[in-house]
Amino acid sequence: MDEILAGTMRDAVYGRLDYLDQLVADGDEPSRAALANTEISRLTTGWRDLLAAHHPDEHGRCPQCSGWRRPRRHPCSVWTTAHRHLIADDGPRGATSGRHAAATGQPTGAVPRVS
């Protein structure tokens, strides 16, 4: 993919995310309800596609994040990010754990092993 196409794609995706954030922040109730009806399904489908691409192989390694010199064990950063945003951030504040919790102030929770 050339740099211009990559930049156009990146701008389009960030633009869409900005639009959705603005609609959530400033939209009226019917707009937000319509947003939930359409966008939640799109977002869950997108997460599932992304997680499928980073599903561990038969050796327990992420096929996308592993290089030929440095295999990356599961869970990779995509799975830990998914867990943080979809699971851990729903937990009670102040119940942080994990080695980076103190540095980031973000709850990291325990990442379950997926086989």
> Do the beta carbons of residue 80 and residue 68 sit within 8 Å?
no
> Do the beta carbons of residue 32 and residue 24 sit within 8 Å?
yes
Does the footprint of Zn ion cover residue 82 (CB under 5 A)? no
Does the footprint of Zn ion cover residue 62 (CB under 5 A)? yes
Q: Which of 56, 75, 76, 109 binds Zn ion (CB under 5 A)?
A: 76
Number of residues that bind Zn ion (CB under 5 A): 6
Show contacts with Zn ion in window 36-55 (CB under 5 A): 54
Does the footprint of Zn ion cover residue 83 (CB under 5 A)? no
Q: Quick one: 52 or 102, whose CB is closer to Zn ion?
A: 52
Q: How far apart are CA 39 and CA 23, in angstroms?
A: 11
Residue 27 burial by CB count (10 A; 0-12/13-18/19+): exposed, middle or buried? middle
Binding site for Zn ion (CB under 5 A): 54, 62, 64-65, 76, 78
